[in-house]
Amino acid sequence: MLRKHRPEEYERLRLELLKMRKKANLSQVQLADKLKVRQQFVSKYETGERNLDFVEVCLVCKACGVDVGSLKIGL
């Protein structure tokens, strides 16, 4: 059964996306520019203040040059 809120999975995803951005040598501002959003958008999902939907995760991966299928978050 799916739970409505899965904090441990969101935390693993958050950490993986943060690591991915850093590995791509992008600042939050640079990533935000690629995504055509404000830097606060990146900051909020990286600090866990906001969760991303699947399309947003795909766009972040693409902006970092990573295939979304290669994310290792242990689901």
Kindly list the domain boundaries of the chain, sorted by start residue: 7-64
The residue to which tokens 């866990």 are assigned: 48
> Whole-prediction pTM value?
0.87
Q: Which amino acid is at 15?
A: L
Spatial contact of 31 and 69, defined as CB atoms under 8 Å apart: no
Distant-in-sequence, close-in-space partners of 69: CB < 8 Å, separation ≥ 6: none
* Structure confidence at residue 5 (pLDDT): 59
- How many Cβ atoms sit within 10 Å of the Cβ of residue 22? 11
Q: Give the fold, CATH level 3, of 7-64.
A: 434 Repressor (Amino-terminal Domain) (1.10.260)
* Structure confidence at residue 4 (pLDDT): 55
pLDDT, tens digit (0-9, with 9 covering 90-100), for 16-65: 999 999 999 999 999 999 999 999 999 999 999 999 999 999 999 999 99
